[in-house]
Amino acid sequence: MPTCLRLCIQMRCRWKRWRTKYETEGISTIPSVCAKRRAKLGRLRTSLATAATCRSEAETGARSGTGCAKERGMTMNKYYEETKVADGVYRINGLEGVYMDLFVGTKAALLFDTGYGFGDLKDFVRQLTKLPLIIVNSHGHMDHTSGNYQFDEDIYIHPKDMDFCRETNSVEGRLRTAREGRDKICYPERVKRNIIPEGFDEDAYIRKGAGKLKALEAGQVFDLGGITLEVVELPGHTSGSIGLFHKEEKAFYVSDALNHFTYLFFPEATNLQTYKQTLYKARTIPFEKLYTGHLPVVGTRQTLEDYIDCVENLDFEQGVPYDTPMFPDSGARMCMRKGYTPEDIFKPGFAAVVINKEHLN
């Protein structure tokens, strides 16, 4: 049972008489109530409203487990959380379901991706570091770039994804993103939740654009002081997808570019051959740890070999049709590594490419 609902029931037993009077007549009609009780009734009102939202989601099968943003009491300023994975390296996450990686050196910090930007990401990052900040987008998709607007700094992105990123962040694009936030499919439970925090201004959000985009250069290296990050071009998922190789840690941050479930059916994706070459190129990077954009699991070199095995033995005809409401008529198929089914998606060794005929060559 959601915490707010439990609280609501407890409060209801205790304050039933007051609540009935409050709901029918309003708090001002209860002159004898003391200030403390007034505050408690006010909180009860909020709790009732939240519980109603969460209940309606539960009734439509839309939520379970960890709860929606309102139930968690998430506000713009209290929306994200971080996990420290190495000295000066934080993985930032929240209900958005996408990882943003913050690297803090001795001279500068670098933020890799900005997520949906529903919460106050800038404030969260600034609590972790006050150093000069460099921002880099892994690719142009909205779930990695929609928070760009919060930052005054230049936003580095591969030139091949620049126009696409602006399109994604048009008013129409951002309106779609905001609406997705109200009905977001959350993994691994695969349930829909409202992940929009309290205090979110949708009207302002949809007009914020893509931020000050600046073209990345091939082979660009960011020296943050004690942390060296090398840009690696990884075309496939999009033409301008990149990864960052953390040389000191031998850790490879690849966002969506190399993934256990790689989308290759969007118009902005390359063909399969290009993606295959990207996988082979990744083999030449001397990484020991692989961090992807949507999973907390830390991959290894074997993880990359699993992805390669999937692509080298891909059989489109054996793939499972992937026509979801979000992507109708895409003609895409989910082509899994041999021996795995769609139910195995979070099992070790699973790898799949979601691709349509247009991208097969």
- Residue list 12-51, contact with Zn ion (CB under 5 A): none
- Residue list 105-144, contact with Zn ion (CB under 5 A): 141
Per-residue DSSP letters for 293-308? Answer: SS--PEE-HHHHHHHH
Task: Collapse the DSSP code of 155 into the 3-class scheme (helix H, G, I; strand E, B; otherwise coil) and give the result.
Answer: strand
- Measured at the CA of 348, the angle between CA 345 and CA 350, to 5 degrees, comes to 45
How many residues belong to the site for Zn ion (CB under 5 A)? Answer: 2
Please report how close the Cβ of residue 256 comes to Zn ion at its closest, in angstroms.
4
Q: Which stretch binds Zn ion (CB under 5 A): 28-36, 249-257, 268-276, 335-343?
A: 249-257
Per-residue DSSP letters for 235-251? Answer: -SSSTT-EEEEETTTTE
Nearer to Zn ion, 62 or 165 (CB): 165
Please report how close the Cβ of residue 268 comes to Zn ion at its closest, in angstroms.
9
Q: Which stretch binds Zn ion (CB under 5 A): 65-73, 109-117, 254-262, 343-351?
A: 254-262
Please report how close the Cβ of residue 144 comes to Zn ion at its closest, in angstroms.
6
**Cα 226 to Cα 107: distance, rounded to the nearest angstrom:** 9
Please report how close the Cβ of residue 296 comes to Zn ion at its closest, in angstroms.
17
H helices of the chain, in order, are 3-25, 35-59, 121-128, 142-145, 162-168, 171-182, 202-205, 272-283, 301-312
**Cα 115 to Cα 105: distance, rounded to the nearest angstrom:** 22
Q: List the one residue from 71, 96, 256, 268 that touches Zn ion (CB under 5 A).
A: 256
Nearer to Zn ion, 2 or 211 (CB): 211
Please report how close the Cβ of residue 98 comes to Zn ion at its closest, in angstroms.
9
Nearer to Zn ion, 249 or 256 (CB): 256
161 binds Zn ion (CB under 5 A): no
CA 165 and chain centroid, separation: 16
268 binds Zn ion (CB under 5 A): no
Type of residue numbered 323: D
Residues that bind Zn ion (CB under 5 A): 141, 256
